[in-house]
């Protein structure tokens, strides 16, 4: 196998990993939930959170996912899992925003989220 064939094979392998249906659906659902959380709560609300607030929110939603899963309500368990992942994405954006020097109350974090997660963050 020559170098070009090896690169093509590696490219196809990576495409298969990225385009696996379960990953695609999960990531799309998380992206939509990120947009929903930003629209519902706003970025100013998130900026007031301390690190422990993010932790407890994640624990609360993880607990809801656990309870739903144990009760056999897989649909709710999946929803709360997606919500938890979206909280992690928003927490990540909060940390990155602080690293970049964003100021509370301004729209710069919203712009950052839009650039990171796409325009659907503002339109969801």
Q: Kindly state the tokens that stand for 31.
A: 């992206």
Residue found under tokens 């938890």: 84
CA 52 to chain centroid: 18
Asked whether residue 21 carries a pLDDT value surpassing 60, the answer given is no
pLDDT higher for 119 or 122? 119
Length of the chain, in residues: 124
pTM given for the model: 0.64
Q: Cα separation of 4 and 20, whole Å?
A: 24
Asked whether residue 113 carries a pLDDT value surpassing 80, the answer given is no
Q: What is the pLDDT of residues 52-98, one digit of tens each?
A: 999 999 999 999 999 999 999 998 999 999 999 999 998 998 888 76
């Amino acid at each position: 196998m020559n170098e070009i064939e090896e690169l093509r094979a590696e490219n196809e392998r990576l495409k298969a990993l990225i385009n696996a249906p379960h990953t695609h659906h999960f990531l799309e659902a998380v992206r939509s939930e990120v947009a929903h959380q930003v629209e519902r709560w706003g970025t100013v609300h998130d900026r007031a959170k301390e690190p422990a607030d993010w932790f407890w929110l994640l624990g609360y939603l993880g607990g809801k996912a656990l309870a739903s899963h144990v009760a056999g309500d897989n649909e709710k368990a999946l929803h709360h899992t997606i919500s938890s992942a979206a909280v992690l994405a928003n927490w990540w954006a909060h940390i990155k925003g602080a690293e970049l020097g964003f100021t509370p109350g301004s729209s710069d974090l919203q712009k950052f989220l839009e650039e990171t997660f796409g325009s659907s963050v503002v339109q969801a």
